[in-house]
Each structure stands twice: as structure tokens, then as C-alpha cells.
Amino acid sequence: MNKKKRNDIELKSKALTEIEHFSLTEIPAESLFRLGRIFTEGHRYGKHNWRQGDTKFLIERANHAFKHFLLWIHQLETGEKLSNEDDIAKVMWFCAIAMELERVWHINGHPTNP
């Protein structure tokens, strides 16, 4: 019999399974669809173009995401939509690429700006 690991749980069926420390099934599907549309919209710059980003790129994208966040807050407060874009999905896109670049930079080293 297999020895139980620290992160394993025993199910009612007596099968062992490892516990993940996250729950992907709790992420609303519609938010992922909207995020995916923003990634697809960016293909006009080249698929995965953002992966080549450095600090300067990320700061510029942060500024752009902040603009979309402010537009989203304005709509939330007033009901007036000032943009024809999915503002909060654009913020989510920035957060997703920032987390991935942060992960890659941690592994490969932080890029220097030209």
C-alpha cells in the first residue's frame, strides 16, 4: 500500500489523491472567455508578443491598464460607459501577463532595458 503524502487526502472510495492549493474550478468561465478575447485581440501585434516585454513595456502596459481600471470605476460609480472596450478584462489581461513575466524573470533573470 502506498504511503500517504502530506498533501494527499483519502476519498470516500479509499482512493488517494493529491490536494492542489488552488481551485481553478472557482474561476468564473465568463471571465476567462473575456480574458481570452483580449489575448486574441492582441494577436495583431504578433501572438505572444508580450512575452518579449521588458520593464519599460510592463510599466507602459500598467499605465494603460490603470486607465482601463479608472474607466471601469467611472462606469461603476456613474453608470456612464466612456469606452467601447472591455475595460476590466483589459486590466485582467495586464495582471495575467505581469504575473507570467514576473515568473519568467524570476527563473531567467530580469531583462535590462535598451
Q: Do the domain assignments include residue 13?
A: no
On whether residue 10 sits in a domain, the answer given is: no
pLDDT of residue 101: 95
Q: What is the pLDDT of residue 58?
A: 95
Domain assignment present for residue 14? The answer is no
Domain count, the chain: 1
Query: Could you tell me if residue 21 is inside a domain?
Result: no
Cα angle value 79/37/89 (rounded, 5°): 40
User: What pLDDT does 68 receive?
Assistant: 98
Residue 8 lies in a domain: no
Smallest CA-to-CA distance from 34 within 68, 83, 85, 99 is with: 85
Is residue 78 a part of any domain in this protein?
yes
Asked if residue 90 is part of any domain, the answer here is yes
Indicate whether 47 belongs to any domain: yes
**Sites in the chain below the pLDDT cut of 70:** 1-12, 14, 16-17, 112-114
Query: Which residues span the domain enclosing 51?
Result: 28-108
